[in-house]
């Protein structure tokens, strides 16, 4: 029954599948190229002095990125402290009061916030925080990053809690547990893995952001742990060194990129681990 029509349709079918597979494999090419390139270039830069030294003046070798690593941890850590509680609470509200008018506006606001380009967030925080404080500061950088994390954490919290089946809540209320306790001790713990991975993913997303830090945290060639002063950070250092003409600064930038990517990958892996091992069980 070798009907030529059928044969032709089969050929088209196989060709299409081949095309899909081919394009999909091609799509992974940039990722592999980037990761291998950074690994190769950055690996040679990483040694103990690289991680513990401060940057050296132009033209002198042996500089390091210790202040950038510390700076990133402090700035992102502070942002997380600000954004996670607010975001989780907002997510809880959105899920619990989903029909109220305020919740609908809040949902809208979060969607808008999520889309704001990072550079525009930099402008906003410059006006609100940097001008008010009269100076660049790590805190303003954290504020900018917190503003970026907030909608993401709120959304993931809301989505996670949506999945918690209603009967848990109803059973708890039926047993006489007050509403606030039901939320805090029954619903939220049931969704804890999702909320946690949302928070960690939120951190992973902002840890590499440069644009909002350009005119808030500003950068600092020295080690600083004060929130009220400018602070260095890994993405800023990468940007400045990458666009410079000095070879050894390029090397530093590759090393810093490798460190940054390792941190981001680790955070992502932790998230996947939490999601797989710690599934919601009802």
Partner 1 sequence: MKIRNILMVASTLLLLVSCGNNSSQSETEQTPAPKANTLIGAGATFPYPLYSKMFDEYSKQEGVRVNYQSVGSGAGIKQLQNKIVDFGASDAPMSDEELKNSPAPIIHIPTALGAVVITYNLPDNPTLKFTPEVLSGVFLGEIKKWNDPKIAQLNPGVKLPATPISVIHRSDGSGTTFIFSDYLAKVSRGWETAVGRGKSLNWPTGLGAKGNEGVSGFIKQTPGSIGYVELAYAFQNKMPMATLQNQSGNFVAPTLTATSAAANTDDMPADLRVSITNTPAADGYPLCSFTYVLLYQKQAYNNRSPEQAKRVVDLIDWMLHDGQQFNEALEYGKLPERVEKKATDILKTVTYNNELLLK
Partner 2 sequence: MNETLKLTDANWSKAISRKEKGFTITLWLVAISVIILVMAAFLTLLVQSIPSIKANGFSFIYGRMWNPITGEFGALPFLAGTLLTSFLALLIATPFSIAVALFLGEYYKKGMMSQLLKNMIDLLAAIPSVIYGFWGLFVLIPIVRKLQIALDIPPYGVGIFSASVILSIMIMPYAISLSRQVIQMMPSDLKEAAYALGATRFEVIRKVIFPHVLSGLFAGILLALGRALGETMAVTMLVGNTNALPDSIFAPGNTMASVIANEFTEATGAVYSAALVEIGLLLFVVVAIINLVGKRIIKHLAYT
Q: Give just the sign of the alpha carbon dihedral 269, 272, 276, 281.
A: positive
Contact region with partner 2 (CB under 8 A), list: 28-36, 44-52, 63-71, 164-172: 28-36
How many CB atoms sit inside 10 A of residue 183's CB? 18
What letter would DSSP give residue 228? T
Name which of partner 2, partner 1, none residue 81 binds, using a CB cut-off of 5 to 8 Å depending on partner kind. Answer: none
Grouping H, G, I as helix, E, B as strand and the rest as coil, residue 12 is helix
Candidates 58, 62, 105, 189; binder of partner 2 (CB under 8 A) is 105
Nearer to partner 1, 118 or 224 (CB): 224
Rounded (10°) angle between helices 138-163 and 192-206: 150
Candidates 39, 54, 73, 124; binder of partner 2 (CB under 8 A) is 124
Measuring CA to CA, which residue among 202, 200, 188 is closest to residue 114? 202
Distance CA(137)–CA(224), nearest Å, equals 11
Distance CA(219)–CA(242), nearest Å, equals 15
14 sits near partner 1 (criterion: CB under 8 A): no
Measuring CA to CA, which residue among 220, 200, 224, 217 is closest to residue 272? 200
150 sits near partner 2 (criterion: CB under 8 A): yes
Q: How many residues bind partner 1 (CB under 8 A)?
A: 30
Among positions 148-177, residues that touch partner 1 (CB under 8 A) are none
Nearer to partner 2, 16 or 222 (CB): 16
Mark 70-109 with x for binding to partner 1 (rule: CB under 8 A) and - for no binding.
-------------------------------xx-------
115 sits near partner 1 (criterion: CB under 8 A): no
Nearer to partner 1, 79 or 236 (CB): 236
Nearer to partner 2, 48 or 272 (CB): 272
CA of residue 215 relative to chain centroid, distance: 20
């Amino acid at each position: 029954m070798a009907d030529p029509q059928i044969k032709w349709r089969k050929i088209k079918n196989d060709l299409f599948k081949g095309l899909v597979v081919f394009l999909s494999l091609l799509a992974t090419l940039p990722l592999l190229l980037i990761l291998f390139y950074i690994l190769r270039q950055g690996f040679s830069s990483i040694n103990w002095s690289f991680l513990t030294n401060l940057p050296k003046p132009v033209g002198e070798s042996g500089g390091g990125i210790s202040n950038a690593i510390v700076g990133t941890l402090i700035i992102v850590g502070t942002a997380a402290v600000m954004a996670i509680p607010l975001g989780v609470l907002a997510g809880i509200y959105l899920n619990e009061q989903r029909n109220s008018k305020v919740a609908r506006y809040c949902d809208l606001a979060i969607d808008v916030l999520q889309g704001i380009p990072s550079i525009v967030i930099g402008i906003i925080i410059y006006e609100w925080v940097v001008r008010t404080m009269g100076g660049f500061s790590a805190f303003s950088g954290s504020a900018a990053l917190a503003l970026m994390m907030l909608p993401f954490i709120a959304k993931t919290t809301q989505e996670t809690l949506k999945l918690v089946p209603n009967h848990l809540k109803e059973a708890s209320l039926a047993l006489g547990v007050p509403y606030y306790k039901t939320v805090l001790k029954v619903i939220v713990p049931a969704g804890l893995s999702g909320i946690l991975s949302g928070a960690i993913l939120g951190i992973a997303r902002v840890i590499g952001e440069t644009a909002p830090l350009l005119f808030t945290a500003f950068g600092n060639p020295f080690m600083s742990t004060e929130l009220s002063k400018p602070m260095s950070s890994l993405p800023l250092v990468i940007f400045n060194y990458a666009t410079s003409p000095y070879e050894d600064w390029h090397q530093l930038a590759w090393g810093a990129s490798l460190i940054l990517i390792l941190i981001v990958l680790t955070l992502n892996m932790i998230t996947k681990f939490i999601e797989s091992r710690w599934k919601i069980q009802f």
